Amino acid sequence: MTIGIIGSGAMGAGLAQVVATAGHTVRLLDQNAEALQRAGAGIQSSLNKLAEKGKITADAAAETFGRLRLTQDVGTFNDCELVLEAIVEDLSVKQQLFREVEMLVPDTCILASNTSSLSIASIAAACKKPERFIGIHFFNPAPVMQLVEVIPAVQTRAGLAEEVRDLVHSWGKRPVLAKDTPGFIVNRVARPFYGEAIRILEEGLADMATIDWALTELGGFRMGPFALMDFIGHDVNYRVTESVFASFFYDPRFKPSFTQKRLFEAGYYGRKSGRGFYSYAADAIQPEP
Ligand code: NAI
């Protein structure tokens, strides 16, 4: 199968690695040449590390990388059987992209979005054939995280969700079918997880390192809410919170916080920018609980 991935950031690069590892021919596209080169180097380094650890052979790493083509030309998507988009979380930008992509790909090509929070129906609505549109939502980092939400829109043709679920399963993932509601399953549960943690911080009940420590050491979570928000990126995470809040008709349960909004406005996106709730500068001393 030939799969086109659009957006080569944190998610797109991971998705390209997952599908290339599964044996598919992959075209990875980004409008930003630097992002594309960074993604290619990142995937190569990730495959090499797996080979060094003995998890895959050096030949398998080379073959997997050989199945990947980096491109800035969407015209190369003309033989894709699935296009999976992981660009900026903005409805009109995603809609515009699919209007263009749909003109180039075969009629049978499945179109999918990795959106965290936008309605699948609203992206599908931009397409001439919305019945072939579906949400396939991975978690970060995609090569590691098992869970994938498969989200049919009201327009999606009968049977496509099950086909996509089986396909995702064949990639070694654990897909679940989710309804096209704001945040789907995990991001809906996650909003109060982040929101309450920030409220506890704002009310001065505990500092962020203590909250993260309590949830990881005592609560069994792999990452605490502040470390996780910094990992995801406040540009992405804040936008998702705004979108889920608006999509639930401004239900106060999902209200975003000014604390996170200010980090977002300042460009303190977390790990990717070197500073978020915590500092990731090489010489930074992390607060201890
Ligand atoms: P990112 O900011 O790391 O990467 C986005 C990439 O898309 C950038 O390289 C950018 O140059 C490119 N791009 C933007 N507009 C484009 C266009 N019109 N055509 C081609 N390339 C374009 O973002 P990230 O974190 O990878 O998120 C991407 C999508 O995945 C978003 O919809 C986000 O909500 C979703 N997502 C993010 C997760 C996360 O933890 N970061 C987890 C699951 C889903």
> What is the tens place of the pLDDT at every residue in 114-127?
998 899 999 999 99
pLDDT of residue 288: 45
Extract long-range pairs of 142-147: CB within 8 Å, 24+ residues apart: 142/11, 142/14, 142/15, 142/17, 142/18, 143/14, 143/17, 143/18, 143/21, 143/46, 146/173, 146/174, 147/173, 147/174, 147/175, 147/176, 147/186
Q: Does position 287 have pLDDT exceeding 80, yes or no?
A: no
pLDDT of residue 284: 61
Q: Does position 286 have pLDDT exceeding 60, yes or no?
A: no
- pLDDT tens-place string over residues 136-181: 999 999 999 999 999 999 999 999 999 999 999 999 999 999 999 9
H-helix or E-strand spanning residue 69: strand 68-71
Catalytic, out of 137, 234, 237, 243: 137
Catalytic, out of 46, 113, 187, 243: 187
Residue range 200-215: average pLDDT?
97
Percent of the chain with pLDDT over 70: 98
pLDDT of residue 238: 94
Domain ranges for the chain: 2-177, 186-273
- Burial (0-12, 13-18, 19+ Cβ within 10 Å), 104: middle
- pLDDT category of residue 24 using cuts at 50, 70 and 90: very high
Residue range 50-60: average pLDDT?
96
pLDDT of residue 281: 83
Q: Does position 18 have pLDDT exceeding 50, yes or no?
A: yes
CATH for 186-273, options being 1.10.760.10, 1.10.1040.50, 3.30.70.580, 3.40.50.300:
1.10.1040.50
Q: Is 92 a catalytic residue?
A: no
**pTM for this predicted structure:** 0.91
Looking at every residue in the chain, the average pLDDT score rounds to 95
Q: Does position 32 have pLDDT exceeding 70, yes or no?
A: yes
- pLDDT category of residue 289 using cuts at 50, 70 and 90: very low
CB 160 within 8 A of CB 134: yes
Percent of the chain with pLDDT over 90: 94
- Those residues whose C-beta lies under 8 Å from the C-beta of residue 17, and which sit 6 or more positions away, are 43, 46, 47, 64, 142, 143
71, 176, 185, 225 from 162: Cα distances, Å: 30, 10, 18, 33
- Write the secondary structure of 85-112 as one string of H (helix), E (strand) and C (coil): ECCCCCHHHHHHHHHHHHHHCCCCCEEE
16, 18, 55, 100 from 25: Cα distances, Å: 9, 11, 21, 21
Q: Is 24 a catalytic residue?
A: no
CA 83 – ligand 1 centroid, Å: 14
172-195: burial string, b at 16+ Cβ within 10 Å, e else = ebebbebebebbbbebbebbebbb
Q: Is 32 a catalytic residue?
A: no
Topology of domain 2-177 in CATH is Rossmann fold (3.40.50)
Catalytic, out of 149, 237, 242, 243: 149
Rounded to two decimals, the ipTM of the complex is 0.99
206 ligand 1 Cβ < 6 A: no
